[in-house]
A and B are shown apart, each in its own frame.
Chain A
Amino acid sequence: MDRRNLLGLAGALGAAALLPKAAQAQKSIEGGFPKPTGKYKRISTEEAFATRPQLEGFRDIGKYLDEGADLSFTQILLGDSPYARDMTPRLLDIGEGRIAELDADGVAMQVLSLTSPGVQMFSADTAVSIARESNDILVEAVRKYPTRFAGLAAFAPQDPKRAVIEMERAINELKLNGFILNSHTAGHYMDEEQFWPILEAAEALDRPIYIHPRSLPEASIAPFRPYGLGGASWGYAVETGTHGMRLLFSGVFDRFPRLKIVLGHMGEGIPYWVYRFDHMYNTAKQNWGSGGLKETPSFYLKRNMMITTSGMFSEPVLKYCMEVIGVDNILWAADYPYQDNREAAAFLDKAKISEADKIKIYSGNAERVFHLPV
């Protein structure tokens, strides 16, 4: 590792994009969110872990595909900054240390997923093998703590055929609960026909694909580089929201009507535009005869998409989303270890919504869509 090079990269990206995430998480804990009550069974659904094979892969930076801002993020995890010293061990721990934190924070269960960008920066062969090894490590933890952990399987979109083989293994043999995809793969999106076997498999296996953020691809990151906007403060949402919108408008939900896609961060902005994209779609359809979809876009948003609260602990946003997408499509998530479990719980505990709705968001919806043991 060349640390100076690393720091240079982080600086070039805008330290504000990446480092404050840790500082914030620490701050929140220092700020003293109290231990949540035992009133709710809290299942968090966007919870990150890392594996040694994945981190070893990150060291081999010569092989990276379309790095965007992810290169510097992965190198920070490998470094020895105070951030990395706190975060990397917590990412690697899917055993007792993590369970102790869940106990302390009132979290009943985590649905785990390999931290972003997963295996999507690697060459196809490396990605296939690291996904497989990581899923094996994941399932070991799930088997050891079946009431505390569930898991989303990683796969390598770089090779759709082998991705499907791993997806089938993950559900049929490993009994995992869904799939994690970190947005684009080398600048390509899931609506493209080359990836349809993956969507087809997810539908056939009746398990959702969680589309998690990663950096925008090289081709579209330039306007987000200043002020650290390429990361979690702005660019991640543009990337992931655009991915979701491509799925909505491409017609893949007509082709795969039972496919479920989960988006974090309260839907990555998509729910805010629901009126406008329906209206513009209907206008276009009126003017040009066909919009290319069987239904209006919002129909698919409600039928095929679910959203989670990760990193968006805002009651007005929650209420807005409940109104436009429906409470049955909203899941609780904290984004451990990047954000604070207690802050995530304090937000939903005190939200002025009905108890029945709270229970759906905390556990009922996750149990249903991820087929969790009840």
Chain B
Amino acid sequence: MLQHLPVLPLLIPLLAGVLMLMPPIAGTLQRQRVFGTLAALLQLLATITLLWQVNQHGPIVYAMGEWQPPFGIVLVADRLATLMSVLTALLLLCVQLFSCAGEDQKGKFLHPLLMFQALGIQGAFLTGDLFNLFVFFEVLLIASYALLIHGGGPQKTLANVHYVTLNLAGSALFLFALGIMYGTFGTLNMADMQLRAAHIVKSDVQLAESGAMLLLVVFGLKSAMMPLHFWMPKAYSVAPAPVAALFAIMTKVGIYSLWRVHSTIFGDGAGELANIAQPWLWPLAWLTIVIGIIATLASKTLRELTANMVIVSVGSLLLMVTLNTREATASALYYLIHSTLATALMFLVAGLIVSQRGKAEDRFVQARPVAQPALLGLLFMLAALALIGMPPISGFIGKALMLKAALASHQAGWIWPPILLASLAALLMLARSGSTLFWRTRGENAGEVKVHPAQLTAVCLLVITLPLMVVFAGWITEYTQAAAQDMTRSLSVPLRIPGDTDA
């Protein structure tokens, strides 16, 4: 049982999703809710066990169907992958709980779709094969296409048309890049590619370079990097609250892929191809933050504001990817966990505010008060503190770690101002939006919509993780340091080539 642990985070959502579409469970919404929540819990347990195993005994390489690498497809569960996997499972559990409160009545198949989305994300994190990464990207994308339009309406349809078209074009570029990679490297196994990167034939170097650049475009599109971010605020701000919360990790899939491909395969040891994305990533990451700050200041609704702050956090993470030192990666990982959870929390709180404010939804205008101002106000304040990065909550530690990593690499003059300014912009906008949403009120709220216990549980679960990240900051940073260390020498992944085993 234990040797099959790395495949469990994929199998659980896959089987759960399929079973939910079949008669005994598909029959009533109640059964789907219970089953979905149980599956999400099980997945969280499996990923935590996997994390513990990997932390104790080092990375696990799992050959699917015993087909040995580099020809078979492998799952590689190292510290980085399992950390992301746990984060996904936690997020799925919260989102699943939240959607039990009525969001799943607005359209069909919300619970199975959430499971398939989780399958795609987990697969993208755990796979050790570049083509398999593409396949899992498609799995998570097709689930997200359906999730984004859940509930229907012209706004969602319009956002979805843009989102789907852009991502289909992105997928085509991804395939072009994969073709180039296979043509030049002769393999698509990531560990194998890393080994061969330094020994590419001279005439193929330029071709491989163009492939790497295409991949940069693809991952930039997924992670909402500067010129490719236009789809993002719209899609995230019209998506239903639980879906937007789950999407909080989708941009991080792009960042993760950048680490895997551009920091590891085309890392320092890649000979002529070493760090080829760096000169492009520098200005793009920097501009992403700047654009994010401007967009933050111009936001008109709370959900749009949160989506724009995702762009800022993506920019900060991209800067750390560009630095590509051990400290930078470790601090970025800590910040990544924090920003994913905080963003998800803010999207859920925004969902609650939308449901209680009537027609004004979450626009920053004078409108009727929310039904539960004390509860929602408190939740909003906690989420805002987390997003800004104020001291008692984990955002502060994440940002401080990133600033420290920048200081060590002598690039602080470039990196400090945008990150600090982003915090200031967030502080300004969240203070303004909070006072508008909760204090500039008119009339009375009849109070027919209250926060559902399931919603409250989901939100509280996310709220609790934030102080926990502060309490266990020492342990987490140690872990992320080790994960960053692993990443630079993932060469140690054993590659058993069938012909070589006899020798």
The judgment on whether A and B are partners is: no
Q: Which residues of A contact B (CB under 8 A)?
A: none
